Amino acid sequence: MKITVLGAGAWGSALAHHFQACGHDVTIWGRSPGPGPDGCTRITGEHLPAADFIICSVPAQTTRSVVAGFADQIAPTTGLIITSKGVERGTLALQSQVLAEVTPDNPVGVLTGPSFAVDVVANRPTGLTLACADPVQGRVWRDALAGNVIRTYYSPDIIGAQIGGAMKNVIAIACGIVAGRGLGASAQAAIMTRGFGEMSRLGLAMGAQIETLGGLSGLGDLALTCHSKSSRNFTYGFTLGEQGRAPQSGTFEGAKTAQAALELGAKYDVDLPFTKTTAALVEGRISVDDAIADVMTRPLKDEVE
């Protein structure tokens, strides 16, 4: 099959490497010239080749502008598979909703789950969710995108798959802050668990399935990103916790999504206290010490609240 990957960052390049190793004809697009993964064609500019699939792996806040720039070149039979994770600021749209506006005639899927680019490139086994509202189309894509390194599982829950991917980045920042400040593994586990509760409440309010939120795209991705410096969002939080200031360069999806996720919670009348604190930290409205004091002095409540 002919596959084009939009985005030549770590994850886009890792997926291009995987698809090429599976025998597909792979083109990878990036904003600037540079080498692509072995066997893949690297392109820049304003022209895309015809493809069976387009994998959207650009930063979530740029998905709309990048895909819109190519929209008139994309055939309606081309599948668009999203790997970007985040809530669009301003519109509060999930990535599938962005594509529904920009390319309304194309079938859309989401490829997500616990995965580090370095593991895929090193040929280490990785399990991912392929979510698509159409079960026939989704299972075709599931089979086409799997290989010896990546094992894909189909889900019809496109909303749940995206909420898991977006919220886990925000929670990973909070866990990184805890680790960077040296507050211990117990505090880190508590943040991850309560954060999962926030992810679940928001997802369910938006129509997600609890099985999805507890699966690869939700709990699985959360477990991976909340404990490792291979996670950019965890590292962002670790630096913020350790030094009191955030990194000044790099792509950190959770930092961009935190405030948008908080506003999405307000839209669905879902209380997201850890998301609220993380958004305030990321945007410099409170200090790390003030955030810790705020969390520890909140009124006590039942665990299910």
Active site residues: 168
Q: HSE on the CB side for 76, CA within 13 Å? A: 2
- Taking the C-alpha atoms of residue 231 and residue 229, their distance in angstroms, rounded to an integer, is 5
Beta bridge partners of 130: 111, 154
With residue 27 as reference, give the H or E element that holds it. strand 25-29
- Taking the C-alpha atoms of residue 164 and residue 85, their distance in angstroms, rounded to an integer, is 9
154: its two tokens: 């189909």
- Taking the C-alpha atoms of residue 87 and residue 54, their distance in angstroms, rounded to an integer, is 20
- Taking the C-alpha atoms of residue 218 and residue 160, their distance in angstroms, rounded to an integer, is 8
Q: HSE on the CB side for 65, CA within 13 Å? A: 7
Q: Please, are residues 295 and 221 in contact by the beta-carbon 8 Å criterion?
A: no
CA distance readout (Å), 154 to 2, 94, 97, 125, 209: 21, 19, 20, 17, 14
